[in-house]
Amino acid sequence: MPAKSRNTRGDRQVGLFDGPPATDLVPTLAHAETGKLRAVAPEAPPAGTKRRSGKKPVREDAQSMAARQREISVSEFFTKNRHLLGFDNPQKALLTAVKEAVDNSLDACEEAGILPDLEIEIHEVSENRFRVAVQDNGPGIVRPQVPKIFGKLLYGSKFHRLKQQRGQQGIGISAAGMYGQLTTGRPVQIISRTSKRKPAHLFHITIDTKKNAPTILKDEEIDWDVDRGTRVEIELEAVYKKGRRSVDDYVEQTALVNPHVRIRYAAPKDELRVFDRVSNELPKAAEEIRPHPYGLELGVLLRMVKETPARNVRGLLSGDFSRVSPAVADRICDTAGVSPTTNPRRLSNGQVELLFRAIPKVKIMAPPTACLSPVGEELLQRGLEQRLAADFFSAVTRSPAVYRGNPFQVEVGLAYGGNLSAEDPIDLYRFANRVPLQYQQSGCAVTKATLSVDWKKYGLQQSRGALPVGPMAIVVHVSSVWVPFTSESKEAVASYPEIVKEIRLALMEAGRRVGIWVRRRRREADEMKKRTYIEKYIPHIGDALQAILGLSDRKRDKTVDNLKTILERARK
């Protein structure tokens, strides 16, 4: 979607991939002689640091160490530890950047009740350098928010809400921009428009990593032939590959668990691929919930006691938690020996601990589950049928369950036979809150649960501690108001026993179904084989009997018919 800028330098096309002017290069990076970008030399040590002259190392003392101690900005931390955010190699970096932008677009569209229409483009700028563009038809972003969203880590709208969403940390897109800035020196480009009646804005933004604050290189109104939405472009050092764990794979899998999404995807040097919607209905909107008291941690309760607007403990418990009525709150207070009318701010730490210990002793209803939005058995199965050439399909959606007070729900889709390879381990596709997980398979609760199932029972081969072998593909989707990822890069689900158990039960149910189908098919195949034997050999036996016993043709045919009937009966 080309866009025209209306700036003082005249009408300039701000198309997809036309790079920013050279002045946009981030000042903290400099060109090395090779033409590649490198970080500038680290700054001089702060005043007060002891000089290490000569060979003997100088011992530090408390004073000199104090001079070195200083705050670390979250952006500096993640620049050094970018592997934690999924930027540990160039191929993965490309995937992560696309994924962060797509996650945000889908979250925003769904929150605004808009059927998502996405455009994903990857353009090769030069060797190992790509420009990623993701555009949505979502609600757009209001102008003052754009710099903070894209130029500040740990800034977002989702962290403090208990609701099923793809994003949760407030790091994703700013980290992708920061990686781009670090490896190419280019700022993130954002175009956003909130309605047809409002102008579109173009921003060029970098992160000042020392301050974890945005630097705005460009902020101007532009003409954009799109009524509403957001377009994010990031230039980054990356490698584009096809096959497993590729962006192509990711886009395909995203379409599978998001049947309501339409994606137009342009990979480098490839034809445009369009993934059309399977459903024209938005998923059931996930509601926000308050935390459930089961699984609450003491520190969290201590903080809530300090921050609550409630005037008494009864109000705190019934107002700030889900499923706690004033009567249940009184029962908790009673068990703890704390008066329900006490002002929360007057509670001693000891009293808060008494309340904390009383909570598990009082029966409280399970958390509400309207906060979850699974794909559903029908759509999951339809999605699989559309994308895989298999013979048997099934899907299982479990009832919601709870881990550490957080509702979650597991669903499994399964495809068997057809084109799927019978000699290789099964294909296991993992998803969390409708996002494909492509890395850290071995560290994921989904893999752990899959390995724990005895697949031999269901007609597959399986060696100890390995994935089963057979013509099968399995999709496991875990949705939750808070997915416990094993790291900030959101690649694997942590193995909470409750989650592993639910996945296991869903897999066993799907396994039973495929087992029944496989056994029935085997029986049918056996029968078919026997029937062909009968059809093939009995007429010859008839001929032989005719020759030996001198039967008439009529008698021979009668004997053949009799033999067939007897064998058919015996076969059943």
Ligand X SMILES: Nc1ncnc2c1ncn2[C@@H]1O[C@H](COP(=O)(O)OP(=O)(O)OP(=O)(O)O)[C@@H](O)[C@H]1O
Q: Which of 102, 171, 359, 435 binds ligand X (CB under 6 A)?
A: 171
**Alpha carbon distance 163, 168 (integer Å):** 9
DSSP 480-542: ESS--BSSTT--SB---HHHHHHHHHHHHHHHHHHHHHHHHHHHHHHHHHHHHHHHHHHHHHH
CB of 74 to Mg ion, least distance (A): 15
Q: How far apart are CA 17 and CA 186, in angstroms?
A: 12
The distance of closest approach from Cβ of residue 24 to ligand X in the complex, given in angstroms and rounded to an integer, is 21
Report the alpha-carbon distance of residue 481 to residue 503 in Å, rounded.
Answer: 17
Does residue 40 contact residue 143 with C-beta atoms inside 8 Å? no
Q: Choose the one of Mg ion, ligand X, none that binds residue 317, judging by a C-beta under 5 to 8 angstroms depending on kind.
A: none
Shortest CB 104 distance to ligand X, Å: 3
CA distances from 405 to 163, 321, 552 (A): 13, 11, 84
Q: Based on CB atoms, which residue is closest to ligand X, 151 or 468? A: 151
Q: Which is nearer to ligand X, 5 or 230 (CB)?
A: 230
Contact pick of 5, 75, 105, 189 for ligand X (by CB under 6 A): 105
Considering the complex, what minimum distance in angstroms separates the CB of residue 49 from Mg ion?
Answer: 39
Count of residues of this chain found to bind Mg ion when the rule CB under 5 A is applied: 4
Q: Which two tokens stand for residue 382?
A: 């339809």
Of 148 and 564, the one with the shorter C-beta distance to Mg ion is: 148
* Residue 169 lies near ligand X (rule: CB under 6 A): yes
Single out the residue of 138, 436, 515, 542 in contact with ligand X (rule: CB under 6 A). 138
Q: What is the largest CA-CA distance in the chain?
A: 119
DSSP 426: P
Single-letter amino acid code for the residue at 454: D
Question: Reduced to 3 states, what is the DSSP secondary structure of residue 552?
Answer: coil
Q: Are 481 and 406 in contact (CB under 8 A)?
A: yes
141 is a site residue for ligand X (CB under 6 A): yes
Nearer to Mg ion (CB atom), residue 161 or residue 564: 161
CB under 5 to 8 A by kind: which of Mg ion, ligand X, none does 230 bind?
ligand X
Cβ atoms of 252 and 429 closer than 8 Å: no
157 binds, among ligand X, Mg ion, none (CB under 5 to 8 A by kind): ligand X
**347 lines the binding site for ligand X (CB under 6 A):** no
Residue 409 binding partner per list ligand X, Mg ion, none, with a CB distance cut-off of 5 to 8 Å that depends on partner kind: none
Should residue 212 be labelled a site residue for ligand X when binding is judged by CB under 6 A? no
Question: To which H or E segment does residue 352 belong?
Answer: helix 349-358
Among 3, 102, 173, 380, contact with ligand X (rule: CB under 6 A): 173
Residue 315 contacts ligand X per CB under 6 A: no
Minimum CB separation of residue 77 from ligand X in Å reads 15
Could you say which of 167, 400, 405, 417 contacts Mg ion (CB under 5 A)?
167
Pick 156 or 367: Cβ nearer ligand X: 156
Contact 456, 382 (CB under 8 A): no
- What, of ligand X, Mg ion, none, does residue 447 touch, CB below 5 to 8 Å by kind? none
In angstroms, what is the minimal distance from the CB of 173 to Mg ion?
5
- Per CB under 6 A, the list member of 158, 161, 323, 531 interacting with ligand X is 158
**Cβ-based neighbour number of residue 46 at 10 Å:** 10
Cα dist from 215 to 60, 75, 182, whole Å: 37, 13, 14
What is the rounded CA–CA span in Å between residue 99 and residue 105? 10
The stretch among 8-16, 25-33, 171-179, 336-344 that binds ligand X (CB under 6 A) is 171-179
436 is in the binding site of which of ligand X, Mg ion, none (Cβ under 5 to 8 A by kind)?
Answer: none
DSSP 8-state assignment for residue 161: -
Strand locations in 173-212 (E): 188-193, 200-208
Per DSSP, the three-state class of 204 is strand
Show contacts with Mg ion in window 87-116 (CB under 5 A).
Answer: 103-104
Give the residue with the Cβ less far from ligand X, 229 or 515: 229
Site for ligand X in 268-287 (CB under 6 A): none
The span of 168-176, 255-263, 371-379, 538-546 binding Mg ion (CB under 5 A) equals 168-176
Of the candidate spans 163-171, 254-262, 405-413, 517-525, the one that interacts with ligand X by CB under 6 A turns out to be 163-171
Strand partners, 219: 203
Q: In the Cβ-directed half-sphere of 330, how many Cα atoms lie within 13 Å?
A: 3
**Exactly one of 172, 291, 340, 511 binds Mg ion (CB under 5 A); which one?**
172
- Residue closer to Mg ion by CB (options 320, 491) is 491
Per CB under 6 A, contacts with ligand X among 223-242 are 230
Helix spans in 69-145 (H): 74-80, 90-111
Number of Cβ atoms within 10 Å of the Cβ of 347:
20
Interacting residue with ligand X among 110, 119, 121, 136 (CB under 6 A): 136
Residue in 181, 177, 121, 185 with CA at minimum distance from that of residue 147: 177
Please tell me the distance from the alpha carbon of residue 180 to that of residue 374, in angstroms, as a whole number: 34
- Positions that interact with ligand X (CB under 6 A): 100, 103-105, 108, 136, 138-139, 141, 149, 156-158, 167-174, 230
Residues that bind Mg ion (CB under 5 A): 103-104, 167, 172
